[in-house]
Amino acid sequence: MHRSKRAVIVGSTLLILTAVAGLASGWFVPTQTAVTQLAPGVFFRKTATEPAFIGCNQGWVIFKDFVLVIDANFPNQAEEVIQLIRKTTDKPIRYVFDTHYHGDHADGNQKFSAIGATPVASEDSRSQFDTKGLAGFEKSKKTNPAVYGGLEYQKPVLYFPRKLVIDDGTQRVELLHFGHAHTPGDAVAWLPKQGLLFTGDACVNGAFNYTGDGNTASWIRVLSEMQKLPVKRVCPGHGEMGDADVIAKQKRYFVELREAVQRLIDKGRTLDAIKRQIEIPSFLEWTGVDVKTRAENIEFVYSELTGGGKPK
Ligand SMILES: [Zn+2]
């Protein structure tokens, strides 16, 4: 998870302007990171998950006088995205929005606060930053000094309960917390004018989605809330961009995982048997991966359905 292979995005020789159907333009460094302008002043950075996991996807929105960044990423990737942002604007980065507390989304906060930005997150994520987030960061400082050495943990300093709107007349971004999904404090960034939704890990596109901090019943409800928005494009926390169908696929995974595990529980199967026997064809079709390989998610849902699945 914390292995990092720095994306090399230095100099113009690696910047290849590529026309993408339906999109304005993209700069691509194959297999590592790709930046696409989705609308005037709105950018999506896709990072690689294969062969090396380098971090989360990110976004940024250029307002009249400042920039909002969506997800801090790991510290080294925070440095990378700041360089990328500087290729698009000289305006100060004022806010970095952490969709949730996980290190691959928030451990780079200090890199942004050092240049004057304020880390923002939902109020329901505060306790995770204070506990697991801090503990994970301290652990990474020991195990990955090349990326974390010398840094101090920077928690968000601006929290919002359900919704925070940033609107200067040119851009409007709504930060929305719908409830417990991938973590208790997940929030998304919704750009209503452009129909763009940056979901963090509340919705990923095919990449492994960790359930250990989740609540799959609530997560399905959160995804249903997202589906009420007139979404044109989903920028997921990991994986490729897509249309609103990505939300439907993420939801279907949890609906069908819960149904399939429950069916096998009802037949009296043990957890080990369930892990061997479970089939979810739609998941294979979506991700190219057999659902059996996501064993920890099967264990988590089994635990939830048999009464032991309280979020850690
Ligand atoms: Zn996460």
In the reported structure, the alpha carbon of residue 193 is separated from the centroid of ligand 1 by a whole-number distance in angstroms of: 27
The single-letter DSSP state of residue 129 is I
**DSSP 8-state class, residue 26:** E
The 8-class DSSP code of residue 255 comes to H
Span 168-224, pLDDT tens digits: 999 999 999 999 999 999 999 999 999 999 999 999 998 889 999 999 999 999 999
**Ligand 1 ion: nearby residues, β-carbon < 5 Å:** 102, 201
Determine the Cα–Cα distance for residues 176 and 200; give it in Å rounded to an integer: 11
Helices (H), 129-244: 134-143, 145-148, 216-227
- Report the alpha-carbon distance of residue 83 to residue 263 in Å, rounded: 50
pLDDT-derived band at 32, boundaries 50, 70, 90: low
Whether 46 has a pLDDT exceeding 90, the answer reads yes
Q: How far apart are CA 236 and CA 233, in angstroms?
A: 9
Q: How far is the CA of 102 from the centre of ligand 1 (A)?
A: 5
Q: What pLDDT is recorded for position 10?
A: 29
Distance 17 CA to ligand 1 centre (A): 31
**Taking residues 263-275, what's their average pLDDT?**
97
β-bridge partners, 122: 160
Higher pLDDT: 245 or 4? It is 245
The beta-strand segments (E) located in 153-229 are 158-160, 163-167, 172-176, 188-191, 196-200
14 Cα to the center of ligand 1, angstroms: 29
For residue 60, the model assigns a pLDDT of 98
What is the whole-number distance in angstroms between the Cα of residue 3 and the centre of ligand 1?
A: 16
Confidence band (pLDDT; 50, 70, 90) for 149? confident
Residue 16 has pLDDT above 60, yes or no: no
Q: Which two tokens stand for residue 151?
A: 């840094």
pLDDT at 8: 32
Per cent of the chain over pLDDT 70 is 88
193-209 confidence digits (pLDDT tens): 999 999 999 999 988 89
Average model confidence (pLDDT) across the chain: 89
Residues 6+ apart with CB under 8 A from 12: none
Tell me which long-range contacts 50-56 makes (C-beta under 8 A, separation of at least 24): 52/3, 52/4, 52/5, 53/1, 53/3, 53/104, 54/3, 54/4, 54/5, 54/6, 54/7, 55/4, 55/104, 56/104, 56/105, 56/200, 56/201, 56/237, 56/238
List, for residues 66-81, the tens digit of each pLDDT value: 999 999 999 999 999 9
Which structure tokens are listed for 118?
A: 């304020």
Partnered with residue 27 across adjacent β-strands are: 17, 35
Mean pLDDT of 42-49: 90
pLDDT in tens, 98-137: 999 999 999 999 999 999 999 999 999 999 999 999 999 9
